[in-house]
Amino acid sequence: MLQPDAGRPGAGPERASLGAAALRAVTRPRFWRPLISLAVVLIAWELLGRYVLTNKLFFVPLSDVVFATIELARTGELQRDFAASFTAIFYGMLLATVVGIAFGVLIGASSTVADYTEVHLNALYSTPLVAVAPLLILWLGIGIASKVAVVFLISVFPIVISTASGVRNVDAHYLEVARAFGAREEQIVAKVMIPAALPFVLTGIRLAIGRAIVGVVVGELFGANAGLGYLIYTSGQTFDVPSLFAGVLCLAVAGVFLTFLVQRLERSVVRWKPAVQED
């Protein structure tokens, strides 16, 4: 009987090369250093809750949080809250990304627009916009619309500021070459400025992810009937500390995962950046 891939030339060397690549990735310091630090933090959390802070009204071991998370998942409550929160984050971040990149390119490429708008941009960025969350809920209700609005308002400014900085820091030689070849201003913006500013844009999106998670929690704390912020609020009101930490832990893990995805996207689309040197 023929073995799978037996007749395909190069199957053995390809598998060997894939295995070698996987082994190299696992043995890199950038892979195991985060795992070591994570293991230390989790073990410290368990020991602290088990032997030091033993009052479970204030702190609980990690194992209790894991059991609470499993129970919430078993009843379906965790999935419902997770879906509610991250639906709002998805739409809010999508809107913030589109508006933030467009407005950032506009004020970065046009000094006239920047002169008219930057003072308002800086004022709004310095304003604690979470304070307007109750007003947005009053206007838009406790449904998803108010959460999307809060996420958008909180996360759009890092994208605008980073994109504008990226456009302004485009190498002048690129612009001179484009103009020398007769490129129009809109072509320079689309084919020179925006691609060159991509690292700044993706950095702004990474910063916005953390703010978006904070924004959706704030919106759900002020008024909601589902969501991880709602779970945290109701758990705190009933002194269900394991469920409270379960909600916080889910948000933290999701934030790390989303940031990792943006980092991977940056490595794939911004290939001209110098590689990070490993110790």
More confident residue, 9 or 99: 99
* pLDDT of the residue at 69: 92
CA-to-CA distance for 174 and 171, rounded, in angstroms?
Answer: 6
Whether residue 229 is contained in a domain is answered as: yes
Q: Which residues contact 65 (CB under 8 A, 6 or more apart)?
A: 242, 245, 246, 249
Residue position matching structure tokens 């479970």: 56
Residue 225: which of 64, 5, 77 has the closest Cα?
77
pTM across the whole model: 0.80
Domain presence at residue 204: yes
- Dump pLDDT digits (tens) for 105-151: 999 888 888 888 888 888 888 888 777 888 888 888 888 888 999 99
Residues spanned by the domain of 263: 63-269
Write the CATH number for 202.
Answer: 1.10.3720.10
Q: Is 177 a member of any domain?
A: yes
What lies within 8 Å, CB to CB, of 271 at 6+ separation is: none
Question: Does residue 53 lie within any of the structural domains?
Answer: no
- Residue 71 has a pLDDT of 93
Q: How many CA atoms lie within 13 A of 185 on its CB side?
A: 4
> Is residue 199 within 8 Å of residue 173, measured between CB atoms?
no
In a domain, 50, yes or no: no
CB atoms within 10 A of CB 225: 9
Give a yes or no: residue 25 inside a domain: no
pLDDT at 208: 93
196 pLDDT more than 80: yes
pLDDT level of residue 47 (50, 70, 90 thresholds): very high
Reading phi first (left if > 0) and then psi (alpha if -120 to 50, else beta), residue 10 is in left
Question: Considering the domain boundaries, does residue 44 fall inside one?
Answer: no
Q: Does residue 219 sit within a domain?
A: yes
Q: In total, how many domains does the chain have?
A: 1
Separation of alpha carbons 257 and 254, rounded Å: 5
Residue appearing with tokens 């933290």: 252
Neighbouring residues of 124: CB distance < 8 A, sequence distance ≥ 6:
157
CA distances from 123 to 31, 92, 161, 203 (A): 41, 21, 13, 22
